[in-house]
């Protein structure tokens, strides 16, 4: 029975999206309401399935877990951002030097090859 409900929910969602394109000559507000209405009706039908209940439980637990996260302080964030920028600058200079060195090596090899002909 849950598969039928989920299939019906997908049809409602598809109907909302189809309504968006079907009402292309209507005001944008009506088109967006069509999509939102399809989404809300699909979510309502999906809510009454086992998978819908599991998804709700998962979302609730995820929200609770994010509250337990210890976020870095402003000072730590600024320090780490500065460190990342410094690393990017050092890597850019290093790669530029490697590129310039390879360019010089290839130019000297090309010049060496022209002199032999």
Query: How many other β-carbons are positioned within 10 Å of the β-carbon of residue 11?
Result: 15
Predicted pLDDT at 115: 60
The owner of tokens 């000072």 is 75
d(CA 111, CA 117): 11
Residues 6+ apart with CB under 8 A from 16: 34, 35, 36, 37, 38, 39, 41, 42
Q: How far apart are the two ends of the chain, measured CA to CA in Å?
A: 82
Q: Quick: pLDDT tens for 90-112.
A: 999 999 999 999 999 999 988 87
**Is the pTM higher than 0.95?**
no
d(CA 36, CA 40): 6
The owner of tokens 């030097």 is 97
Predicted pLDDT at 21: 92
Of 5, 14, 48, residue with least CA distance to 34: 14
Predicted pLDDT at 2: 81
Q: Quick: pLDDT tens for 26-82.
A: 899 999 999 999 999 999 998 888 988 998 899 999 999 999 989 899 999 999 999
Q: Which two tokens stand for residue 41?
A: 């009706």
Boundaries of every domain in the chain:
2-68, 70-117
Q: Quick: pLDDT tens for 2-31.
A: 888 889 999 999 999 999 999 988 899 999
């Amino acid at each position: 029975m849950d598969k039928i409900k989920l299939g019906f929910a997908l049809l409602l969602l598809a109907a909302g999206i189809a309504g968006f394109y079907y009402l292309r000559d209507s005001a944008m507000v009506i088109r967006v309401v069509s999509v939102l209405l399809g989404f809300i009706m699909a979510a309502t039908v999906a809510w009454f399935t086992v998978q819908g209940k599991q998804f709700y439980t998962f979302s609730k637990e995820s929200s609770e877990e994010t509250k337990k996260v210890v976020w870095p302080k402003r000072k730590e964030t600024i320090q780490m951002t500065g460190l990342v920028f410094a690393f990017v600058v050092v890597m850019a200079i290093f790669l530029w030097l490697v590129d310039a060195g390879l360019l010089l090596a290839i130019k000297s090899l090309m010049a060496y090859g022209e002199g032999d002909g």
